[in-house]
Amino acid sequence: MAAWFWRLGFQALWEPDILVGTAVTALAFTALVLVRREGEGRAWPVRLALGWTAFAALYAAVGSPLDALGDDYLFSAHMVQHMLLTMVSVPLALAATPAWALRALIAWRPLAVVVRAVTRPWTALVLFNAVFSFWHFPGLFDAALRSEGIHFLEHATLVAAAVCMWWPLVCPLPEERLHPAGQMAYVLADGTLMLGVFAFVTLGRLPLYTPYAHAPRAVPSLGPAVDQELGGIVMNLFTMVVYGALFAAAFVRWVRLEPAVDPEVAGRAVMRRGGGRGTG
């Protein structure tokens, strides 16, 4: 990587304000979990591990050198940011949230109405994919790169839409989660909907995003076209790995929920039902 990239300095590369903010939030989350750990049984260490990993992914996305690299130099680095936010940080943070805290948060009826409206499975799928696709249109993406305010709005809406999308899969409230069979269908549907963005970025006219076409080459071997194609591949691989693992886990849970049936017992039951119909 070009030496001049590292001359940006500590402030630009490590964003100390974001580092401090993330650390303070992580400490507050830790206190929230520990204050009611007796009711968590053995789950609270797992909850802490998930939360800390979520905060680490969040900081890596928006506060580490990856942020500087993605904002000014490489489209593929920017796609890693988006994947860390929507496919790693959000689901881990949601899964790590204590159920009692989430119930208290949505106890306010107006908020509960809104949450239930935007987290219905098919609504959440459409909402997430609409927001994700919206921000990857070239003009909007370019505007976000040129304006800090628009860039913040981009990341904030991506995170909010990702919370809605992940809600039916990893929400800590059991009644809000889909049945494992439904989770499998949900994951397949979301992966299918996202193929449009992947194809648009990977196979679209090159280059799609003007700032990256004229950016200095942080990695000399990554020209604008290769960088854009790599960004599409990054999105696809992240999604395939995360959704593949979720699909497999949901399948295992679904199989375990199905009652075991002895073939001989089932055969006798069928014969009895058949005999009953014949003699009736």
Looking at the chain, the number of H-run helices and the number of E-run strands are 16, 0
Q: What are phi and psi of 220, to 5 degrees?
A: -55, -35
Between 174 and 265, name the one with better pLDDT.
Answer: 174
Beta carbons of 164 and 129 less than 8 angstroms apart: no
The yes-or-no verdict on residue 218 having pLDDT over 90 is no
Taking alpha carbons only, the member of 93, 57, 75 closest to residue 212 is: 75
Measured between alpha carbons, how far is 108 from 39 in angstroms, rounded to an integer? 23
Contact 45, 63 (CB under 8 A): no
Structure confidence by residue, pLDDT tens digits, 22-32: 999 999 999 99
**In whole numbers, what is the pLDDT of the chain averaged over residues?**
89
pTM of the model: 0.89
At 34-89, the pLDDT tens digits run 998 877 777 899 999 999 999 999 999 999 999 999 998 999 999 999 999 999 99
How many angstroms separate the CA atoms of 252 and 246, rounded? 10
Chain segment 155-195, per-residue pLDDT in tens? 999 999 999 999 999 999 999 999 999 999 999 999 999 99
CA–CA distances in Å: residue 267 to residues 33, 257, 258, 272:
51, 22, 18, 9
Distance between start and end Cα atoms, the chain: 83
Helices (H), 87-179: 90-96, 99-105, 109-118, 121-134, 138-146, 148-170
Split at pLDDT 50, 70, 90, the class of 113 is: very high
